[in-house]
Structure 1
């Protein structure tokens, strides 16, 4: 991609991190103020951008690049859900998000949350 969307509209919040939460993975709310990893076909609220001392900074808005599983998403609004293993997938039961770029070689996609 010839342009950079890094930093666009970013907003993050700090939550308790459930076990297994790692940097770069899509996360969901699992309890009051607690986030955890997502299984396949689950909706995600954001992406863990930092995990330290039992807490996770979760990006809830803005541009992120995530690995995808299965069919490559198309550029434009796509319905995405978690694919498990820190990836996302095209899924009719997911969340409508703007896909801005797709790298089929690296199997990643840039999305705006």
Structure 2
């Protein structure tokens, strides 16, 4: 058990319309005016769908969030993009810089600052 938790720090949520393909806990991108959809591999993300209900998604667009992440093995500034499976991956060429404050490569997750 880790002694430090970043959960909820700086969390900002925005409500968007979404289709049935958006699931809770996956990274999403803006797809239309006021709407989001799941990210494809290599996409830049708008945030993470925290709650999905009745055709709407509460998307965390700022703050610390735990994401499914492949290839993240160190903390610090890391270039990441969507992995196409609801999480993120290291993308040193086309990724966006995110501050990784916790990396759990064994479980495939990371805590990042959006």
TM-score scaled by length of structure 2: 0.93
Aligned residue-pair number: 112
Structure 1 residue runs of 4 or more that deviate by more than 3 Å after TM superposition: none
> In angstroms, what is the RMSD of aligned CA positions?
1.0
Cα separation, 1, equivalents of 2:22 and 2:32: 14
The corresponding residue for 2:75 is 75
Structure 1: gaps of 5 or more residues: none
Aligned partner of residue 68 in structure 1, secondary structure:
strand
Name the CA distance, whole Å, in 2 between partners of 1:35 and 1:65: 19
Check the 8 A contact 2:73/2:105 in 1, yes or no. Answer: no
1:27 maps to 28
TM-score, normalized by length of structure 1? 0.94
Farther-moved stretch of structure 1 (28-37 vs 89-98): 89-98
Give the CA deviation at 1:104: 1.8
- Partner residue, 1:111: 112
